[in-house]
Amino acid sequence: MPPRKKAITPATVVDNPVKTAEKEKNKKSSLEELRLQVNKEINNLFDSLITKINEVELMKKQIEEKDINQAKSRSQKEEEENFNLLLKQKKQQAEFDEKLEKERKAFEEEKLLNETELKQKKEVFKSQEEEFRKLKDAVEDFPRQLKKATEETRKQLSAELKKEFETEKTLMAQKNDFDLKLLEQKIANLQQTIKQQERETQSLKSEKANALDQMNNLAVAVVKGKEKEITQNSSE
């Protein structure tokens, strides 16, 4: 005898769709709440991220403005130092030119004085020679011994004057050469001093440029460190 089928009552047919609808409604409600909660957290996360990005941008802007101000300050200070150094060099050059001009004038005056004295001595020598020639003409009729003595005296005096003239000429040339070498040495020393100052100025500029590069690298490293820290915090 076959088994009997379970009887299906009307109540059983009605209860199943209602429970299913309630379950679906509760499930949709839970999903909606979860979606809203997720959206809220995402919005909060985006707001926090935007705030941090704005803070980083503000920090970068402040650092850039600080770097610009420092660069302007350094540039202005460097220009002032270069200007003061240029003024100092021009002053030294002017003092050197003035001193050189004074020494040149003194040398020219001394040279002119020596040339004048030499010219006067030449004129005296010529005058003495003329006097001896006149004396010779006057004593031509004297005895032979007088003529010989007069001639010897004239030759001796002429030789002495010529020797004195050559000696003074040599001493004057030596003195002029010494003064010229001394002046050239002074010029060389002053030029060496100016070159040394130029090398020191160039070294100072190089040190300033290196210091500026180090400060810029440090600022970039700080900004990158902040960005990395922000990125890590956002990832967490």
In tens, the pLDDT along 148-203 reads: 777 888 889 888 888 888 988 889 889 888 988 998 898 888 888 888 888 888 88
Looking at residue 141, the DSSP 8-state letter turns out to be T
Q: How many CB atoms lie within 10 A of CB 121?
A: 15
- Exposed (0-12), middle (13-18) or buried (19+): which is 60, by Cβ within 10 Å? middle
Q: What is the pLDDT of residue 17?
A: 65
**In the prediction, which pLDDT does 235 show?**
61
Question: pLDDT at residue 2 above 60?
Answer: no
Q: Which helix (H) or strand (E) holds 83?
A: helix 10-138
Element (H, E) at 170: helix 144-235
> Where are the strands (E) in the chain, listed by range?
none
Q: Residue 47 is encoded by which pair of tokens?
A: 């707001």
Radius of gyration for the alpha carbons in the chain, expressed in angstroms and rounded? 56
Q: pLDDT (tens digit, 9 = 90+) per residue, 71-105?
A: 777 777 888 888 888 888 888 888 888 988 898 89
- Which amino acid is present at 6? K
Chain-wide mean pLDDT for the chain? 79
With residue 7 as reference, give the H or E element that holds it.
Answer: none
Which is more confidently placed, 69 or 12? Answer: 69
Give residue 5's pLDDT band: very low, low, confident or very high (50, 70, 90).
Answer: very low
Helix (H) or strand (E) holding 3: none
